[in-house]
Structure 1
Amino acid sequence: MTPIDVVSVADAPWHDVQAVFGTRGDPSSCWCQYFKMGAAEWKTANRATCEPLLQRQVRDLDPAPGLIAYLGGTPVGWCAVEPRANYPGLHRTRVEPGPEPIDDATVWAVTCFVVRVGFRKRGVGKALLAGAVDHARSHGARVLEGYPVDPTAREKVTSAELYYGIVSQFVANGFREVSRPTPDRALMRLELGT
């Protein structure tokens, strides 16, 4: 089995990031800006506005706001992970974040996964989440949160709805379920210590 390598997006060439986000579907227009924009701003967002925002965040934020996965040297996936304070739009989800103040820089969040068509069901998401845990821990995170979907609790889940990740993937990486505000969504947390 070909190993999956996970690196900071800051260490990936931009054309690799573009290959992962693609030109079709939700990732190609969102570029992981949904939770960073206000509701009014989001209504007019598209690739032309969102891609440059992510590119600027990669350049300006330390650490960079996510990870890229490679399978045999091919860029195949993305995971957004950074301090929860960088996601003011999290309140728009059906899952309320944990109890700490929103500006607590030691609480990080995993908000999005993108795995390219043709590379799904190969462990890319699991590898990205393991990389997110390491990334958050190495940059001082005390807690890492995720807001995944539980596909076993619904009759049908579209691939677009899986961008939050899935509950079993978080459980496999040591997260515990803290709450379940709806049957198909969970707040998952991993205490990382300091």
Structure 2
Amino acid sequence: MGAEQQRDLIEGGGFVGIDAPKINTPGSAGHVWIERARTLPDRAGPQLRVLLCGLNPSLYAADVGVGFARPGNRFWPAALTSGLLTVDRDPRHALDADGIGMTDLVKRATARADELSRNEYVTGAARVARLCHLLEPRVLCVVGLTGWRIGVDKHAATGQQPESIGRTLVYVMPNPSGLNAHVTVDDLTEHFRIVGALADEA
């Protein structure tokens, strides 16, 4: 496994690398030292219908272990109403039963997405692209237009994107946060319906 793949695996698993302790025992060479990060691990695997990709975990979501978990966030109500997901706030069920994985453009948890740098979005988008090449989900659904514009395409609009990532179609939708007041639950539900239909057709 190369260094980049190793970093992706560690970061996607919700860990960060740490400096190795000064241990010089037989068999310790080549060990990787990691610790749990305040983030969300990727919930992903092969044969996904959709890989949902948030901008980054909120501190609340990282602490409870579920993306979009805050009660005011419209992600789960919209995804459930659309039929894309079938159980509320259960990413394991989403993966196992619905074929829906979850990741984030940036793994670092923050109170607000505007605390993230452009470099974090660019680096994170590259990691997500590698994940798509590896797992080949039918659709990558980026939940947050602003982050996609910062990290990938500054002219992007919501909807299916003109370029795929390998075999994976890319769809970008608005952020479901309650702070995004000009987007309704019905709007979000329709985006999720379209994503489900794209996955079924792919």
Shorter-chain TM-score above 0.5:
no
TM-score (norm 1): 0.38
**Larger proportion of strand:** 1
Q: Which has the larger Rg?
A: 2
With a CA cutoff of 8 Å and minimum separation of 6, indicate the structure with the bigger relative contact order: 2
TM-score (norm 2): 0.37
